Amino acid sequence: MEWVVALALAVFHGCYSLLIVWHDTDLWSLRTYSAALAVPGSPGTWAVVAAAAAVLLIVGTVTGRERLVAAGAALSGLWLTFFALMFGIAAVGDTTPVAQPGVIIYGCAAVIAVTRAGTAWGRR
């Protein structure tokens, strides 16, 4: 069932990267995205990395190449970790709890991605 996790991560990253491409900075108009927008080239940088993770995960899963799955899941985990950190930065500077759910959601998703990367790496 690990393939379900890999494809779920791929769908998330693929869809999110498309949303960024279609909506650009309008997608991140809330103040909770201010730290993420400070990354050079944002939001396009986030979209490129998300798309790369999606492609690696899909190709690796379809072809059975666990190294590609591991690389895609690791990239996914990094993306999600940094996104959780960006929400954490926003949460510290905000008097409302609006950014706090993002820290939890993206942080937990990062753990799932890193776990999938470790499983795939162990099978290579």
d(CA 99, CA 87): 6
Task: Quick: pLDDT tens for 16-60.
Answer: 999 999 999 999 998 889 889 999 999 999 999 999 999 999 999
The residue among 31 and 5 whose pLDDT is bigger is 5
Q: How does DSSP assign 39-60, residue by residue?
A: STTTTHHHHHHHHHHHHHHHHH
Predicted TM-score (pTM) above 0.85: yes
- Show the tokens assigned to 59: 């190709």
Q: How many domains does the chain have?
A: 1
* Residue 63, Cβ density class (10 Å: 0-12 exposed, 13-18 middle, ≥19 buried): exposed
Q: Does 10 score more than 80 pLDDT?
A: yes
Q: Which domain holds residue 32?
A: 2-123
Residues whose CB falls within 8 Å of the CB of residue 36, separated by 6 or more in sequence, listed in order: 28, 42, 43, 46, 83, 86, 87
